[in-house]
Amino acid sequence: MHGIPLLRDLVILVAVAVPVVVLAYRLRIPSVVGFLVSGIAIGPTALGLVRETESVASLAEIGVVLLLFAVGLELSLSRIVRMGKLVLRGGALQVVGTIALVTLIAMAFGGNWREGELFGALIALSSTAIILKVYADRGELDSTYGRVVVAILLFQDLCVVPLMLFLPLLAGSGESVGTIVRNVAVAIAVTTAMLVVGRWVVPRLLARIAAMRNQEIFTLVVVAIGLGAAFVTSSFGLSLALGAFLAGLIIAESEFGLQALSDILPFRDTFSGIFFISVGMLLDLDYFATHAAAVIGVAVGIIVLKGLTGWAVVRMVRRSDRVGFVAGIGLAQVGEFSFILASSAVALGILSQDRYQLFLGAAVITMLVAPFAVAAAPDLADRLFALRAMPTMEFATREVRAVGPVTDHVIIVGYGLNGRNLARALRRAKVPYVILDSNGALVRQARLEREPIFFGDGTRAEVLDRVGLMRARVIVFAIASIAEERRGVVVARHHNPDIHIVTRTRYVSEIAELQKLGANEVVPEEFETSLEIFARVLRRYDIAPARIRESAEAARRDHYEVLRERGATVAPMDEVLSRIGARLDLEVVVARAGSEAIGQTARALKLRTRTGAIAAAVIRRGEGIFQPVSEIVIEDGDEIVLIGESKALTEAALLFRPATRMMTAAHPVPPRPTA
């Protein structure tokens, strides 16, 4: 029955966190603040609802692993390579500069260099979770300052492992420099091996899994890759988070990165929330009440020190004062990995419990302040430097970068027959579009054909956001599953109330429900199939296409309004002619070998005299012929656009068919002989 205390603690944790986070949402306060406040409230030194923090801490560690896994999925290895110079220069200057400055300050106040370097390492790291979330919510991750902050945060995350390896040296545990160098070499070797092997194995594995078309298996494999990589690195004495981060980078390089990210986000948000609650639970309110001035003073010192250091570093990498100011505030808090380092330092005897609580209290304050400071920084910088804010755009994942700054586009969900036909028509019309499909093999094939297609579940908000849902004009759900269509319509309408939603469905009975959920237009396959069947039957009896179209439109008017409106715009010429009072139709007929029209012009056929119809245009091999139609010699396969009354079109169509099949619609169909 060991699981019962943990279950009780989780129930209390969630019961307290939900209303606090909801209140934070209502007040437009970042959820991280709500989680921290919840942890403080239920901790052992406050309400005391949860006294055994070890079990919660284990779940929190999973949260850190999933957090870094998701960060790796969002960044991708290619993005790191492109930011290489900024990562190395900016990140190294910030981390090394902060550690050196804190060490000098500590020694100036009578401390020793070991303690100074330890506090420098703890303070140098910033909160990847808070900053990425705030910037992502504000659409600033790909701004000038956003890219700088992401690069520095990335270097900080990579420094966690070396810092963990150097803690024993600071503790004076007897480990030689050679041992530490060997540990660093092992870390580099393991990292390199995982990247090389992973980039070859993981995409192929995910391709096979995606071919199974089973969402549960795909999600399970993605989670297994992340946790498995974390286990491998921990087996070599490295951090769990490093392995998860590397796994995320590897998966992000494949075409399955977007779907993997959307699958992992719910797990990440849940467990990272538990992590921040656990951080709040560690705070000793009795110590804080007794040493409030010291804790607040250290917190203010950290914010000012990191803000100035960040500004100086950004200026050194040749960015403007405004960018430096905003980036400095973005980095001016203590990171989640600092708590892991601090706990290890306490275990090694480097950090006393009293100093640990001092650091913990100050760190929590910086994290509580960070979301508000980061949100206010751009406007404050504009006032200080009298500059207009630079335009920002959303975080440029691999998919978003491929789509580019496209706006007013069409999102096609599903690349089956309907999706392919729609994409072909949009391409010819020069209308921008992107495609989403969950069939890995289909995505790879379409990419070879240079289609803007991405692997992902188009009914997930995270996936749709990455391909510009908020900027799109139309989204088309061309998928077979009615359940997925319903979910996709609800998600699309909720996240973009102004978007025009078109969806197909198999049955007429589904139209009303899909429209109620938010679809603007619903095209039922069942009804359209019935129309096509009777149209083909009537064509076999040489009924004029114009009359067939009239029957189809009448059926549409009787059954659903949406397609009646769509049918009215299929042939704009009909509408123009009706406005001037002409009772005329427009029809396209194909000239066939053996017909009277082959080898003659419309003038030679005396088309208008004999039938009353007019030849308006000729289309040959898909292209219009731009010369007087009456002088064009008709060839086999030509498409002739005819205008006239229904009866005239019926008679004119006979001139373009082989003589052996001529028959008029007025002739009665002979009855079948009876036995």
Residue 391 has pLDDT above 50, yes or no: no
Of the candidate ranges 12-16, 52-56, 220-224, the one whose mean pLDDT is the lowest: 52-56
- For residues 217-244, give the mean pLDDT: 82
| CB distance 496 to 522 below 8 Å | no
- For residues 580-597, give the mean pLDDT: 72
Is residue 411 within a helix (H) or strand (E), and if so which, with residue range?
strand 410-413
CATH 3.40.50.720 fits 407-519, yes or no: yes
CA dist., res. 539 & res. 548, Å (int): 8
- For residues 197-218, give the mean pLDDT: 82
Looking at the chain, the whole-number percentage of residues with pLDDT higher than 70 is 76
pLDDT for 566 equals: 38
Comparing 161 with 418, which gets the higher pLDDT? 418
pLDDT for 180 equals: 64
Residue 453 has pLDDT above 80, yes or no: yes
- Residue in 388, 324, 396 with CA at minimum distance from that of residue 140: 396
pLDDT for 43 equals: 79
Span 593-629, pLDDT tens digits: 888 889 888 888 888 888 888 887 788 876 767 567 7
- For residues 269-276, give the mean pLDDT: 75
Strand order in the sheet with 500-505: 453-455, 433-437, 410-413, 474-477, 500-505, 521-524
In the numeric block, which tokens belong to residue 296? Answer: 């607040």
Strand partners, 436: 413, 454
Residue 662 has pLDDT above 80, yes or no: no
pLDDT for 289 equals: 86
Strand partners, 504: 523
pLDDT for 297 equals: 92
Q: Is 581 left (phi over 0), alpha (psi -120 to 50) or beta?
A: left
How many CB atoms sit inside 10 A of residue 666's CB?
Answer: 7
- For residues 252-276, give the mean pLDDT: 74
CA 8 to chain CA centroid, Å, is: 35
| pLDDT band at residue 394 under the 50/70/90 scheme | very low
222: burial class by Cβ within 10 Å (0-12, 13-18, 19+)?
Answer: buried
For every residue of 9-52, DSSP letters joined together read HHHHHHHHHHHHHHHHHHTT--HHHHHHHHHHHHSTTTT-S---
Residue 349 has pLDDT above 70, yes or no: yes
CB under 8 Å, gap of 24 or more: what pairs does 239-243 form? Answer: 239/160, 239/161, 239/164, 239/340, 240/61, 240/64, 240/65, 241/64, 241/65, 241/67, 241/68, 241/157, 241/160, 241/337, 242/68, 242/160, 242/161, 242/187, 242/191, 243/194
pLDDT for 308 equals: 92
pLDDT for 296 equals: 92
The DSSP 8-state label assigned to residue 90 in this structure reads I
Number of helices and strands in the chain (H, E): 31, 10
Q: Which range in 304-313, 540-549, 557-566, 600-609 is most confidently predicted, on average pLDDT?
A: 304-313
Q: Which amino acid is at 39?
A: G
571-669: same fold as 407-519?
no
pLDDT for 172 equals: 63
CA dist., res. 165 & res. 458, Å (int): 43
pLDDT for 543 equals: 65
- For residues 401-418, give the mean pLDDT: 76
Q: For all residues of the chain together, what is the average pLDDT?
A: 76
Residue 668 has pLDDT above 60, yes or no: no
Residue 287 has pLDDT above 70, yes or no: yes
3-class SS shares of the chain: helix, strand, coil, % to 5: 65, 5, 25
| pLDDT band at residue 534 under the 50/70/90 scheme | low
| CB distance 111 to 89 below 8 Å | no
- Residue in 629, 624, 657 with CA at minimum distance from that of residue 642: 629
- For residues 453-470, give the mean pLDDT: 83
Span 41-63, pLDDT tens digits: 887 777 878 766 666 666 667 77
CA dist., res. 625 & res. 466, Å (int): 43
Comparing 409 with 455, which gets the higher pLDDT? 409
pLDDT for 401 equals: 52
| CB distance 121 to 363 below 8 Å | no
| CB distance 123 to 299 below 8 Å | no
In the numeric block, which tokens belong to residue 381? Answer: 């910088």
pLDDT for 560 equals: 47
Return the SS3 of 453.
Answer: strand
pLDDT for 303 equals: 93
CA dist., res. 228 & res. 459, Å (int): 28
- For residues 357-386, give the mean pLDDT: 84
Q: Where are the domains of the chain?
A: 3-385, 407-519, 571-669
Comparing 525 with 19, which gets the higher pLDDT? 19
What class has domain 571-669? alpha beta
Residue 151 has pLDDT above 50, yes or no: yes
514: burial class by Cβ within 10 Å (0-12, 13-18, 19+)?
Answer: buried
pLDDT for 532 equals: 64
CA distances from 371 to 30, 32, 141, 284, 411 (A): 6, 8, 14, 23, 33
Strand order in the sheet with 585-590: 585-590, 639-644, 614-620, 623-624
Residue 37 has pLDDT above 80, yes or no: yes
Looking at the chain, the whole-number percentage of residues with pLDDT higher than 90 is 7
pLDDT for 336 equals: 78
**What CATH number has the domain spanning 3-385?**
1.20.1530.20
pLDDT for 329 equals: 92
Checking DSSP bridges between strand 410-413 and strand 474-477, what pairing results, if any? parallel
- For residues 233-252, give the mean pLDDT: 79
CA dist., res. 354 & res. 584, Å (int): 93
Span 75-102, pLDDT tens digits: 666 666 666 677 788 888 899 999 999 9
Query: Nearest-5° angle of CA 354, CA 358, CA 364?
Result: 140
| pLDDT band at residue 564 under the 50/70/90 scheme | very low
